[in-house]
Amino acid sequence: MMRIVRPVVTISGLLALWHGAYLLNGRRSYLLPSPWETLQTGVARFDSLWGHALVTWGEILLGLMLGTLLGTISAVVLVSWATARRWLMPLLVVSQAVPVFALAPLLVLWLGYGLGSKVAMATLIIYFPVASAFLDGLRRTEPGWLDQARMMNAGRWATLWHLRLPAALPALASGLRVAAAVAPIGAVVGEWVGSSAGLGYLMLHANARMQIDVMFAALALLAVFSVALYRIVDAAMRRLVSWQTETNA
């Protein structure tokens, strides 16, 4: 019961706050439209909004998949190959010192105005949290389990596959939750820098034409998708590492 009540209360509260701000602001819809006006705009321009939303959502999902794939592979390579770790770890850390946003113009220049540059942005922003969280997990296998594996004459790869990987799944899950939360940022920033479609593009376009209600409708769609994405990833991770809550209970 509370599972339904809580979000309803939260969402109504936020909408009330929004509407309160609208009233306080003297109902100047050209600065801050009311929730109701935003909804009306959303319905009226649904076709256009939906088309742009699909583009952005696609970019986010592709980026999430690609970033997760690259991040997990990197972590496995780094943990199982000491030479790679020594050479690449500093590089990995330095790569994070370069703000991904600063790369956005370059990516647009290299990969064009289309899907590619946005997926690359989202991938880049997701890659690091996934790789570092998973690597951390892989390097912190319970020593007792590794002792046990040695006594069982287990090979390196068998130990990695049957012990270290499953043991690192909770850490990977934390990384993926962060990734799911930041993935939309990458896609939208990419769209702001240069694009011809997507919610970011629509917002920039609407902003220039003082169509604040369109901006808000786009923002709302983005927020709904981001929250849904986070919840889905979170639920999937809970299922994946259900044993962890069991032992911590």
Partner 1 sequence: MTPDGQSTTDHFSDPTAQAGAGLGVRLSGAHLSYDDTRLFDDLSLTLTAGRMTVLLGPSGVGKSTVLRLLAGLEDGAHARATIRCDDGGPLTGRVAYMAQRDSLLPWASVLDNAVLGARLRGEPLGPARDRARALLAEVGLGDRLVDRPGALSGGMRQRVSLARALMEDRPVVLMDEPFSALDFLTRLRLQDLTARLLAGRTVLLVTHDPLEALRMGHAVHVLHGRPATLDEALVPPGAPPRDPTDRDVLALQGELLHRLTGAGHGGAVA
Residues that bind partner 1 (CB under 8 A): 142, 144-145, 147-155, 158-159, 162-163, 166-167, 169, 241, 243-244, 246-247, 249
Cα–Cα distances (Å) from 219 to 3, 35, 200, 204, 234, in that order, read 25, 12, 9, 11, 22
Closest CB to partner 1 among residues 26, 143: 143
Cα–Cα distances (Å) from 168 to 12, 153, 173, in that order, read 39, 21, 9
Nearest-approach distance from CB 241 to partner 1, in angstroms: 8
What kind and span of H or E run contains 65?
A: helix 46-80
Nearest-approach distance from CB 240 to partner 1, in angstroms: 10
**CA gap 215, 219 in Å, rounded:** 6
Pick from 126, 123, 128, 137: nearest CA to 172: 137
What kind and span of H or E run contains 164?
A: none
Nearest-approach distance from CB 74 to partner 1, in angstroms: 23
Nearest-approach distance from CB 168 to partner 1, in angstroms: 11
**CA gap 245, 144 in Å, rounded:** 20
Closest CB to partner 1 among residues 141, 195: 141
Query: What count of other Cβ atoms lies within 10 Å of the Cβ of residue 222?
Result: 23
Nearest-approach distance from CB 208 to partner 1, in angstroms: 53
Nearest-approach distance from CB 156 to partner 1, in angstroms: 11
**CA gap 1, 4 in Å, rounded:** 6
**CA gap 199, 180 in Å, rounded:** 18
Nearest-approach distance from CB 140 to partner 1, in angstroms: 14
**HEC string for 189-234:** HHHHHCCCCCHHHHHHHHHHCCCHHHHHHHHHHHHHHHHHHHHHHH
**CA gap 231, 142 in Å, rounded:** 29
Closest CB to partner 1 among residues 106, 142: 142
